[in-house]
Amino acid sequence: MECQLKGVGKQFNNHSIFSEVDFTFSAQKNYVILGGNGSGKSTLLKAIAGGIALSSGEISFTHNGNEINPEELPKYLGFCSPYMEVIEEFTFEELISFHKKFKPLKEGLTTNSIVEISGLKHIRNKPIRNFSSGMKQRVKLSLAVLSNCPLLLLDEPTSNLDPKGKLWYKELLSQYAADKTIIVASNFLEEEFPEHPVFLDLANYKH
């Protein structure tokens, strides 16, 4: 899936976060949006996901040669961020079943295989409210990566993961996201980068 930014900018209270961003995220390639705290990387990722409005410019999407209607965009993308909420009253299995009503899993995957891949088999039937922050991050990453969506947006994906979890994250991308366009927003942490990424540094778009 291709995502094209044309003259994209965002302001808050007359303060420019970034402006005049022209960039193309090509299909089935890996990208990292770089920036420190307050640089706008999360804001840009939310704008790509359709979660916030831009102050200027436009974002367009193409999949298999066809332009995507913005209203149809959610079914084409997987999204994960530290600030994203999950339904904590559900068990992990119940959350997967609920998630599948809106987005299909990658071909060949089932609820059981998602649980196995996540490494959370031992707590599959416990309410998510009882999960640690690292376990919740595994839940969110598993649902985002293992859904049958051609565009994957990850905001600081290793947040709350311990060293073992960070290795799991890398393996998850390597095994299950090679056919996706991956865009990671990162605070210059190499452990978050997908393989062979192209970088978009928001420091170049401050005016």
Note whether 95 and 155 are within 8 A (CB).
no
The beta-strand segments (E) located in the chain are: 2-12, 15-25, 30-34, 56-63, 66-67, 77-80, 151-155, 181-186, 198-201
The dihedral built from the CA positions of residue 18, 24, 25 and 30, taken in this order, carries a sign that is negative
**199 bridge partner residues:** 32
Q: Which long-range contacts (CB under 8 A, 24 or more apart) does 119-123 make?
A: 119/168, 120/92, 123/92
Domains: count for the chain: 1
The per-residue pLDDT string of the chain (207 residues; one tens digit each, 9 = 90 and over) reads: 999 999 999 998 888 999 999 999 999 999 999 988 888 999 999 999 999 999 999 999 999 999 999 899 999 999 999 999 999 999 999 999 999 999 999 999 999 999 999 999 999 999 999 999 999 999 999 999 999 999 999 999 999 999 999 999 999 999 999 999 999 999 889 999 999 999 999 999 876
Say what the pLDDT of residue 36 is: 83
Say what the pLDDT of residue 193 is: 96
CA distance 205 to 122: 46
Say what the pLDDT of residue 207 is: 61
**91 bridge partner residues:** 127
Q: How many C-beta atoms surround the C-beta of residue 100 within 10 A?
A: 16
Say what the pLDDT of residue 39 is: 87
Range of the domain at 70: 2-205
**CATH number of the CATH domain containing 53:** 3.40.50.300
